[in-house]
Amino acid sequence: MTTVRMEHNAILQARGLSKHFPIRKGFLQRPVGWVHALDEVSLEVPRGGTLGLVGESGCGKSTLARIILKLLEPDAGELVYQDREISGLPESLFKPLRKDIQIVFQDPYGSLNAKMSIASTLEDGLRVLGLPKHLRRERIGTLLEQVGLSPDIRNRYPHEFSGGQRQRIGLARALSVEPKLIICDEPVSALDVSIQAKIINQLLTLQKQLELSYLFISHDLNVVGHLSHRVAVMYLGQIMEYASTEDIFAAPRHPYTQALLAATPRVYPEQQNKQPLSGDVPSPIDPPKGCRFHTRCPFGDAECRQAPVPLEAKGSGHVVRCLKAGCDNRNFR
């Protein structure tokens, strides 16, 4: 197991997390294979800062989020929240901590109950805090103002709002229980670019005001670069590269990170990719031996196809899972 250590004080640490889902067939539903969703994932969320988690669809980002939220238990590894291991912790002991870790979902339309008014939606969290009824109305108004909405909307219903407004309401719901860590699961991917910028700026403002920590999951490196202090790049259930945002964008070491940057508009025009990354993502049911990226990597050779590749330090706080780390990314331009 490779342990990733950061320079920052971490609020959350994942140490070698693995999660495999069984594929069952037949009358007895016996497992005939496994989906390798996560394999020895190690990362840390800085206290009062943002960790950006990027990668293509199906790489395991949402599975990791569900493990952090204790909706799934890992098969191996440890999850440590504020120096307390919470993986394997019984629900009765984890329940007091559940309000500390909240989530803002990707879908602003499906994440709100259409039959509940905005006030009712936010009041659920306030009940968890034990706030008396006469104080809830004032608190609801404060929450709406914090996310850039008028308190006058409290008695309206989700269908009356735009996608951006609904996402702000979802953010207010997460804030209602006074969390310390918020998982943002692609919260702006369904929104227009102009609305994305407003939501991101709102997240940054709230982070400063409330000293929040974010795990920001996205496939958009432009968004991640604007919001995050550190970035973890994931591919087929493994962390490929992990470093400060400045290092990831200025000096990417892993060919996959280089390819993602080259395919991202406006981040670095001189690296703009004119052709997409070749090949398809292999199946997580039968991931490639050796380096999981070697089937799509222009630098892959026989050595890359042999034993699994560990994460290795390539500088202060910069770790890479690659035998060819630092290869020139000219093949992706």
Phi, psi (deg, nearest 5) at residue 102: -120, 175
Range of the domain at 302: 10-100+179-332
Identify the CA nearest to 214 among candidates 320, 65, 329: 65
CATH number at residue 211: 3.40.50.300
Using an 8 Å Cβ cutoff, are 52 and 230 in contact?
Answer: yes
pTM beyond 0.95: the answer is: no
Q: What is the pLDDT of residues 219-249, one digit of tens each?
A: 888 889 999 999 999 999 999 999 999 999 9
Q: How confident is the model at residue 1 (pLDDT cuts 50, 70, 90)?
A: very low
Using an 8 Å Cβ cutoff, are 333 and 271 in contact?
Answer: yes
Identify the CA nearest to 20 among candidates 62, 79, 76: 76
Is 43 a domain residue? yes
Number of domains in the chain: 1
Residue 67 in tokens: 């493990």
Q: What is d(CA 39, CA 1) in angstroms, rounded to the nearest whole number?
A: 10
Is 146 a domain residue? no
* Angle at which helices 118-128 and 163-175 cross, to 10°: 20
DSSP H or E run through 80: strand 76-81
Q: What is the pLDDT of residues 299-330, one digit of tens each?
A: 888 889 988 899 898 878 899 999 887 665 54
DSSP H or E run through 243: strand 238-244
Q: What is the pLDDT of residues 258-315, one digit of tens each?
A: 988 888 775 445 555 545 577 788 999 999 999 999 999 988 888 899 888 998 988 7
Is 110 a domain residue? no
